[in-house]
């Protein structure tokens, strides 16, 4: 297992590439974003592109909306609403998909979005079908949030068709922020469509059609919220202009610390105290079960939310690599006992059943085992192999390079 020599992200992260110096392409993308690379982004040109896009979609019909934004009450969707309404004067229709286990602060921040002066549709999924999908996603691909990922990506397109809205605005561009931009065409960093969903939408090889029939008793009609509209229907939106789904972070510099300052001035709130699975107080506020998703990510790939946060802080200039190593080591992978109890109680699982499902997706090349079982600390946390810790502390050895400043 190798680690980036600039941040603390391991090569176990899917779709992440590294150069000959062991620097991941998420860090290279950050250098391009902040003008520290020979191929730095021309943000003036990108903004001009965005202005042309939104002007082509702005409606003169007072009965129609200019754009649609999926919102949760989290920091990103709040910032998306700010950009659309306050910066560019758009009239957005907002769509919230009810989270699995909503938090009080998530509900308050969602109400705050309404107070920013937008219309908001609150979509509650069929609970009989939805709870089956949550458990099937957990058991089949180790992701209890699979159904929400599908709905979050697909349902805005269905609502755009229903309300004839030609523009959907997403937040950060994932390939620019988290890596993989060398693997995709420029269009995939700029726009989201069905092809993007199939390649990068967290499906984990499980399609909505795979869950139809059988013992679950789910019909294709039940899966409407989780399936994209046909390309033909999307092309007819906006008087045959078609529906475009654009990542704001491709066109405008996406900087989380600056974004937080803006939205906090507009009523958005952090939680009191840090998130249970990381060191920050602004991530994963809207849904308890999203933190279960992040815990499963740690089991599969050996990194979790704290590593994600540390890498972003390093790239944004808010932390050194040495600080990132300590933060990831201290906060990643802790067994979120209270969250797991809440999840198990809601979905009628025992803790043993929960742990057995997690163990079936846990990587034995990363975590210690004894007599066929994963070793755990007294608090239930998995025990990472010592060589993984060593590789994270000193990644230059694995890449055969020299640590900067050590010559």
Judged by phi (left if over 0) then psi (alpha if -120 to 50, else beta), residue 173 lies in beta
pLDDT recorded at residue 199: 67
pLDDT recorded at residue 195: 73
Note whether 196 and 70 are same-domain residues.
yes
Q: In 3-state terms, what secondary structure has residue 347?
A: helix
CB atoms within 10 A of CB 36: 11
Note whether 31 and 65 are same-domain residues.
no
Structure tokens at 330: 């201290």
CATH number for the domain spanning 229: value is 3.40.50.620
The residue from 251, 274, 295 where one domain ends is 251
Kindly report the CA angle at 359 between 357 and 361, in degrees rounded to 5? 80
Note whether 220 and 296 are same-domain residues.
no
Note whether 170 and 219 are same-domain residues.
yes
Cβ–Cβ under 8 Å, residues 285 and 106:
yes
Residue 34 domain boundaries: 25-39+283-399
Note whether 238 and 113 are same-domain residues.
yes
* Backbone angles phi and psi of 371, in degrees to 5: 55, 40
pLDDT recorded at residue 182: 64
- Strand ranges in 91-142 using DSSP code E only, listed in sequence order: 92-97, 119-123
What mean pLDDT comes out for the span 306-323? Answer: 96
Cβ–Cβ under 8 Å, residues 374 and 368:
yes
Note whether 61 and 184 are same-domain residues.
yes
The percentage of residues in the chain with a pLDDT greater than 70, rounded to a whole number, is 96
The reply to whether 224 falls in a domain is yes
pLDDT recorded at residue 187: 65
Asked if the model's pLDDT at residue 88 lies above 70, the reply is yes
166: nearest Cα among 184, 199, 191, 188: 191
Asked if the model's pLDDT at residue 362 lies above 80, the reply is yes
Asked if the model's pLDDT at residue 5 lies above 80, the reply is yes
Q: How confident is the model at residue 15 (pLDDT cuts 50, 70, 90)?
A: confident
Note whether 121 and 142 are same-domain residues.
yes
Q: Is 271 or 175 the better-scoring residue by pLDDT?
A: 271
pLDDT recorded at residue 193: 74
Note whether 289 and 213 are same-domain residues.
no
Note whether 34 and 65 are same-domain residues.
no
Residue 321 to residue 327: CA distance in whole angstroms: 10
Q: In 3-state terms, what secondary structure has residue 403?
A: coil
pLDDT recorded at residue 186: 67
Residue 191 to residue 249: CA distance in whole angstroms: 10
- Report in angstroms the alpha-carbon separations of 306 from 103, 240, 313, 356, 368: 20, 44, 10, 24, 21
- Averaged pLDDT of the chain: 92
What mean pLDDT comes out for the span 34-52? Answer: 92
Q: Is 240 or 255 the better-scoring residue by pLDDT?
A: 255
Query: 208-237 in b/e burial notation, b at 16+ Cβ within 10 A?
Result: beebeeeeeebeeebbebbbbbeeeebeeb
pLDDT recorded at residue 405: 62
Note whether 55 and 201 are same-domain residues.
yes
Asked if the model's pLDDT at residue 144 lies above 60, the reply is yes
pLDDT recorded at residue 200: 66
Q: How confident is the model at residue 183 (pLDDT cuts 50, 70, 90)?
A: low
Residue 198 to residue 165: CA distance in whole angstroms: 23
Residue 55 to residue 70: CA distance in whole angstroms: 20
- Strand ranges in 90-212 using DSSP code E only, listed in sequence order: 92-97, 119-123, 167-170
What mean pLDDT comes out for the span 305-316? Answer: 96
Q: Is 180 or 230 the better-scoring residue by pLDDT?
A: 230
**How many structural domains comprise the chain?**
2
pLDDT recorded at residue 185: 61
The reply to whether 178 falls in a domain is yes
> pLDDT (tens digit, 9 = 90+) per residue, 198-234?
666 667 788 889 999 888 999 999 999 999 999 899 9
pLDDT recorded at residue 262: 98
> pLDDT (tens digit, 9 = 90+) per residue, 344-355?
999 999 999 999
| Range from 13-17, 162-166, 182-186, 362-366 carrying the lowest mean pLDDT | 182-186
What mean pLDDT comes out for the span 175-199? Answer: 71
Note whether 292 and 166 are same-domain residues.
no
pLDDT recorded at residue 401: 83
pLDDT recorded at residue 175: 80
Cβ–Cβ under 8 Å, residues 171 and 69:
no
Cβ–Cβ under 8 Å, residues 217 and 160:
no
pLDDT recorded at residue 202: 65
Note whether 131 and 201 are same-domain residues.
yes
Q: Is 84 or 334 the better-scoring residue by pLDDT?
A: 84
Residues 6+ apart with CB under 8 A from 145: 100, 134, 137, 202, 289, 290, 292, 293
Asked if the model's pLDDT at residue 359 lies above 70, the reply is yes
DSSP codes of every residue in 21-87:
TS-BHHHHHHHHHTT-STT---HHHHHHHHHHHHHHH--S-TTS-SEEEEE-SSHHHHHHHHIIIII
The reply to whether 198 falls in a domain is yes
> pLDDT (tens digit, 9 = 90+) per residue, 206-216?
888 999 988 89
* Backbone angles phi and psi of 358, in degrees to 5: -60, -45
The reply to whether 309 falls in a domain is yes
Structure tokens at 339: 């969250």
């Amino acid at each position: 297992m190798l680690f980036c020599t600039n941040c603390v992200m391991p090569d176990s992260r899917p779709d992440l590439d590294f150069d000959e110096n062991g620097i991941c392409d998420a860090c290279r993308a950050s250098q391009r974003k902040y003008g520290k690379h020979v191929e730095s982004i021309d943000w003036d040109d990108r903004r001009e592109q965005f202005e042309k896009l939104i002007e082509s979609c702005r409606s003169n019909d007072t009965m129609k909306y200019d754009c649609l934004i999926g919102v949760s009450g989290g920091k990103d969707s709040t910032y998306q609403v700010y950009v659309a309404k306050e910066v560019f004067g758009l009239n957005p229709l907002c769509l919230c998909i009810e989270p699995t286990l909503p938090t009080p602060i998530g509900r308050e921040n969602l109400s705050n979005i309404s107070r920013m002066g937008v219309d908001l549709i609150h979509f509650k999924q069929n609970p009989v079908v939805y709870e089956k999908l949550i458990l099937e996603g957990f058991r089949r691909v180790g992701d209890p949030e699979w159904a929400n990922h599908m709905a979050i990506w697909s349902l805005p397109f269905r609502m755009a068709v229903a309300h004839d809205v030609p523009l959907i605005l997403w937040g950060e561009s994932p390939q620019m922020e988290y890596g993989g931009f060398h693997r995709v065409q420029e269009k995939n960093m700029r726009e989201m469509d069905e092809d993007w969903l199939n390649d990068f939408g967290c499906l984990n090889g499980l399609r909505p059609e795979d869950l139809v029939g059988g013992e679950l008793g789910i019909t294709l009609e039940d899966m409407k919220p989780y399936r994209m509209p046909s390309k033909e229907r999307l092309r007819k939106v906006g008087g045959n202009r078609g529906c475009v789904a654009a990542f704001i972070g491709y066109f405008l510099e996406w900087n989380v610390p600056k974004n937080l300052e803006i939205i906090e001035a507009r009523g958005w709130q952090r939680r009191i105290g840090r998130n249970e699975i990381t060191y920050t107080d602004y991530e994963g506020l809207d849904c308890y079960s999203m933190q279960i998703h992040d815990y499963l990510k740690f089991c599969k790939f050996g990194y979790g939310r704290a590593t994600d946060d540390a890498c972003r802080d390093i790239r944004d200039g808010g932390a050194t690599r040495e600080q990132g190593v300590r933060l990831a080591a201290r906060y990643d992978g802790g067994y979120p006992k209270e969250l797991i109890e809440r999840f198990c109680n809601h979905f009628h699982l025992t803790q043993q059943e929960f742990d057995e499902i997690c163990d079936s997706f846990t990587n034995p090349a990363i975590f210690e085992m004894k007599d066929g079982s994963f070793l755990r600390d007294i608090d239930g946390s998995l025990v990472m192999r010592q060589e993984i810790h060593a590789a994270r502390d000193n990644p230059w050895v694995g890449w055969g390079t020299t640590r900067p400043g050590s010559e």
